[in-house]
Every structure is written in structure tokens, then in C-alpha cells.
Structure 1
Amino acid sequence: MKLSIIILCWNDLKIIVDCLSSIYSNTHSTEIEVIVSDNGSTDGSCAVIHKNFPQVRVIENGINLRFGKGNNVGIAASTGEYVLILNPDTIIHEGSLDRFVNFADRHPEAGGFGCRVLNSDGSYQGSARPFPTIWREWLAALYLRPLGYLSDTFVSDKYIRWNGETERSIDWQSGCCLLVRGEVLKRLGGFDEQFYYYYEDLDLCHRIWDAGYPVVYTPDVTITHLGGQSTTGRFPIAFALDKYRNRYRYFYKYFGRRGVRRCRHVSIAWLLVRGVGYKLAQYVRPSDALRRRLQLYWAATEWNWRVDPVQLVENGKEPETRLQVPIQIPQ
């Protein structure tokens, strides 16, 4: 088998059919297997996939294993020379997977591969990104990232002057569409399951680099990522807090106790700056959308203010909170 495609599904009936249709309609010369790892969907996703795509292997996990563990179920079942991690809210463009595999074949030195990801309006999504550092996080938090156009001192994103239109090595590629050499992926043990949503793709690429394999990007492969159509759009506050939990796990793993404490300071600054901005905007032009956004930022600010990131990572200790909103993802 040349290519295994792993798609994680959790109540994604409205989007996964289009994703699967685009795979089979637009892939021609590559032998593929598609594995859907279903995290306990209750919307009929599995039945519809079985009926309309009998060639797809559906693994019904029965419960929500989250992103890392759920994808690892599919990875363990895969047989492909290459494994593509693909979100259900993506659309594969004509011939893209054929070109993706050909590109990987031309780069035997590489372990991971990225491609050009577009938003639904056709704009570049910026799926190839640099590894985070405390300096880069501060620059982003204080809106200093645009100064990177003027001076390398302020480059919080080293790809800021790059539009994704040239081939190059990259630090990491978004897990919405990440191709990995199967041998390398299984040697690394798949995703680190402590990162159950967010940072799992970043961590995987970090480990690919650490194992001695570069991650390379091609602009000749294009997909559309709708974004926010899968589970993250349904529970915004719970997912926002998951993002910070996993952010602290990442900084603890690669920067230690001191690094993760510094990361918390950045997180609070980032949230306060944006929260104040949205509050001022709400005074000028009130709207339900701004009100909901403010609720999200203040909830995340309170949680980050109260959390001890070292205790969170080492002992799983969550902060006491007065949040009146769901802060955990339903199982």
C-alpha cells in the first residue's frame, strides 16, 4: 500500500462526506487506503460512511479518545508507505495526493511533508509554521509580529516574509493535512497522547526533526481547510482551555519548568491585550459576537491566572475557577 489516509471523526457527518468524496474523485494514480477512526459519533456518521463509501475502513472507538489517541488508533491499523493525517473539514484538490506522494518519493531524506492549505475563500492559511519560543510568543502577544517585515529582531514568525509559494524545509506543518513516512511515524510511536487537542502536530514534527529527518514543504499540493467546522467550533471555550493545557505541556516538555512558567506570563498578557481590545470594541459597537468573544477571553484569562502550569503538567492539578461555562469536552 502506497498511502494510508487517517481521518478522525466525531459527529462530523456534515463535512466528512465531502472530504471523502474529494479524496476518491481527485486521486487517480496512487494506491490508497482510507481509515476513519470514529470517536463515538452519535450523528450517524459511521452508518453513512459504510453505506456510501464501503471501501473505507471505519474503526469505531465507542468513546471520544481525542485527537492524538484517536489518530493513533488509525495509525496502528495503517499499512501505507506514507501516512496522511487529514481533518474531516478538508477538501482535496484535483491530483493533489498523487503529487504529494510523488514529492515525498523525490525526498527520501525527509520524514514529514507539508502542503499549501487554503481557506474557504481561497486565501493562504499559513499551515507551515516555526517552532514556538518564549521570544516569539511575546512578540505575537504584544502585536509586534508585523515589525518582522522591518527587522529580523522582531521576527516572531520566521516565515512572515514567505507566502507559501516556494518549496522549502519547515519546522512543522498543521495536522489538518500532514504527510509522514510510515516507517518514521510508527518508529516514533505516532502522536504523543498527552497532547489530546492542539500541539500534537507541532510535537510530532519536533520529534521527526529530532530523529534526524527534515520536514519539507511543497506548494504544488493544495487542499482547502474549512476550519472551525469540526469539533473546535462547537465548544470554543473548552477547546480554548485545551489549547492552553497543551501549550503548557509542550513548553514543559521542551523548555522545562522555567520555560513553562514564562509561557504562562505570555499567555496572560496575550489574553489581557486582546480582551481589553474587544471590550473597547463592544462599547463602540455592541454585538452578540463580540460578547461571546469577550466571554471566551475572560474565561481563558481567569483560568490562566489561577493555573500553576508546573502542577498542571506534573500532577494534572486544575485551578479552582468560577467559570460558568463548559470547560471540558463532552465524551
Structure 2
Amino acid sequence: MKEFVDVTIIIVSWRVKGLLEECLRSVIQETKNISYEIFVVDNNSNDGTVEMINKQFPNVMLIANEENMGFAQANNQAMEKANGKFILLLNPDTKILDNAIEKTMRFMEENPDAGIAGCHFQYPNQKHQPSVRRFPTLLSMSLILLKLHRIFPSLPPLKKYIADDIDYSYSQMVDQVMGAFFMIDRKLFEQVGYLDSKYFIWFEEVDYCYRAIKAGWKIYYFSGAEIFHYHAQSFNQVLGYEKQKIYNKSLSLYFKKYHSMISYVVIRILSVPSLIISLIVQQFKR
């Protein structure tokens, strides 16, 4: 008979050894009153991450990939082995504060309709970091692909998408929470399955939230727990043009799955100018 722990914590890492070490120490220091297991899935970092885990964190279960499998597939590798009543997908560029994992788990236990929950994010300077968004629409994504969000950030479709009207001081149901701290009820996982591994990175958690809601579950933002999030430290190492290609591919997949064929075609067409703009910006930054 399978023995369950309270929470399975899964961290996918790529070339952020120092931040990962800090993250793991914060998890261990700030998670005292519940049972848990930790998986680290290293996507071929080649920066000493594997050696650091083996030496300093012998109780962490390490999956060392020989190539970069992407975020969704790497999480799935650990989810397959998870023994938690809840599964926490945690980014390596985070730092757990004041028992945040247990607090979020207790919140989900008190709200049995919660399939997924996120918490309050802070930047390392302790400023608030937005972590809730609404589901993507054709208009909001078109504006983002054309980079108009950088010129006209106050356009209503953009403000609606980034949930600019959300009051982060209280817990509430939302469309989606950021994947950097993404707690899943095991019953939801058993119902809807794994992350879609066709997403290399980006939109895999949006997809999962959408599937959860369609299956009758709720997504919650929980205001009673906090973490530090350095934000995009792994992917900041990738050039802008390459990032845009991956973003466009993931966005196109999301629209192909959940929007009309016309919307999907529009997104595919607008992917071309988005790549051109990204390439021009990248050249000027050199």
C-alpha cells in the first residue's frame, strides 16, 4: 500500500545552482510541521548542480536529465513518482517565508473545492509581485505579440489580462496563478493528469488551470502565505529572439487547444512580426 506524505515538492532547475541551494535551505528551514518529500529535476545544467545536491542534500530525490527536457516534461517526471496528498511545483528562484508551504496546504484542506492554489509573491526587495492573471484572449495576446504592451500598458484588454484590479490583500478565486508556487490537490492530478509536455515552457500552468476549471475545480489565490521570487532567473540566460520563439510556440499550442481556428491562425500570423521585433531589439542590445 502506498504511503503518502502531506506534500511532494518538485523543483525543476537549469543553471541556477546558487539560487537552488538557497531555495532548498528555505524549504527545509520553513517547513517543520508537515511531512514532505523533495524532488529536484535538473535539466542538464552542467554547473555543479547535481554534485551540490548529492553532497549537501542527500535526502532530496534527484532526477538528472542528460538534456533540457523543458519545464512541463521535467515536472511530469517527478509527478509520476510523487507520494504527496498535495503536489507543489516550486521554482528554484524562490525562497519560502514563514511556513508558506504548510499554510497553503492547510488553506486547500479548508477549501476542498481548491484544485490549485498560489500564494503572495514578493520581489527580494520586499515589493509586491503580481502573481495572478486572467485567461489569455485573442486581443490581449495580439497586443503582447506586437509589443504594444510596452508602449500602451494601460490599455483595458491588457489591464484585464494581468488582473490589474485584483486586491491581493485577501484570498479569492481566480483564473490562474503563477507557476513559480503552484500547489495541486492530488485528487485533481488523478483526475486531469500531467502537465501537457508539448509545452517546453510558458503556458503549461495556464493550460493546467484551464483544465482544472473545466473539470469542476477552483483556482485560488491565497493571501496568507508569502514567498520571495527572483523571477525568470533560468530563462534570463536565453537570448530574446530564442525566448520569443518558444513563447510563440507555447501560445500557439494554447490557442489551438482552447480557442477557435480563426483565433489560432491570427496568433500564428502575428508570431512573425513578434519574432522580427525581438530580433531587432536583440541586435540593438549587443
- TM-score normalised by the chain length of structure 1: 0.77
In 2, Cα distance between the equivalents of 1:293 and 1:116? 36
In 2, Cα distance between the equivalents of 1:269 and 1:238? 14
Partner of 1:235: 238
* One-letter identity of the residue aligned with 2:154: P
Structure 1 residues without counterparts, runs of 5 or longer: 279-291, 299-324, 326-331
Instruction: For residues 93-134 of structure 1, give each alpha carbon's deviation from its aligned partner in whole angstroms, at most 9, with x where no partner exists.
Output: 121112111111111011111111122222222111100011
Is 2:177 the counterpart of 1:146?
A: no
The DSSP-based 3-state class of the residue aligned with 2:37 is strand
* One-letter identity of the residue aligned with 1:260: Y
170, 186, 206: which is aligned to 1:182? 186
Partner of 2:223: 219
In 2, Cα distance between the equivalents of 1:216 and 1:87? 19
Is 2:81 the counterpart of 1:73?
A: no
Partner of 2:47: 43
125, 129, 132: which is aligned to 1:128? 132
Question: Whose RCO is larger (CA < 8 A, sep 6+)?
Answer: 2
Report the CA distance shift for 1:185/1:293 in structure 2 as closer, same or farther (over 3 A). farther
* One-letter identity of the residue aligned with 2:198: Q
Structure 2 residues without counterparts, runs of 5 or longer: none
Partner of 2:211: 207
Is 2:104 the counterpart of 1:100?
A: yes
Which region of structure 1 is more displaced relative to structure 2, 75-84 or 256-265? 256-265
In 2, Cα distance between the equivalents of 1:178 and 1:80? 14
In 2, Cα distance between the equivalents of 1:297 and 1:244? 21
After superposition, residues 231-270 of structure 1 pair within 5 angstroms as 232-236=235-239, 237-267=241-271
155, 169, 188: which is aligned to 2:173? 169
Q: Which runs of 4+ in 1 moved over 6 A?
A: 269-272
Partner of 1:192: 196
In 1, Cα distance between the equivalents of 2:79 and 2:206? 17
After superposition, residues 268-287 of structure 1 pair within 5 angstroms as none
Which region of structure 1 is more displaced relative to structure 2, 232-241 or 154-163? 154-163
The DSSP-based 3-state class of the residue aligned with 1:165 is coil
TM-fit CA distance, 1:60: 2.0
**How many pairs were matched up?**
277
TM-fit CA distance, 1:270: 6.5
The DSSP-based 3-state class of the residue aligned with 1:197 is coil
Report the CA distance shift for 1:161/1:16 in structure 2 as closer, same or farther (over 3 A). same
Larger radius of gyration: 1
Identity percentage over the alignment? 26
TM-fit CA distance, 1:252: 1.0
Is 2:86 the counterpart of 1:82?
A: yes
TM-fit CA distance, 1:266: 5.0
Is 2:282 the counterpart of 1:295?
A: yes
Is 2:121 the counterpart of 1:117?
A: yes
- TM-score normalised by the chain length of structure 2: 0.88
Higher strand share: 2
Matched-pair contact (CA < 8 Å) for 1:130–1:172: yes
Instruction: For residues 47-91 of structure 1, give each alpha carbon's deviation from its aligned partner in whole angstroms, at most 9, with x where no partner exists.
Output: 211211111111223222111111100111110000000111111
TM-fit CA distance, 1:12: 2.3
In 1, Cα distance between the equivalents of 2:42 and 2:24? 14
Matched-pair contact (CA < 8 Å) for 1:11–1:45: yes
63, 67, 85: which is aligned to 2:67? 63
Matched-pair contact (CA < 8 Å) for 2:114–2:219: yes
Report the CA distance shift for 1:121/1:296 in structure 2 as closer, same or farther (over 3 A). farther
In 2, Cα distance between the equivalents of 1:101 and 1:238? 37
In 1, Cα distance between the equivalents of 2:162 and 2:65? 39
Report the CA distance shift for 1:63/1:158 in structure 2 as closer, same or farther (over 3 A). closer
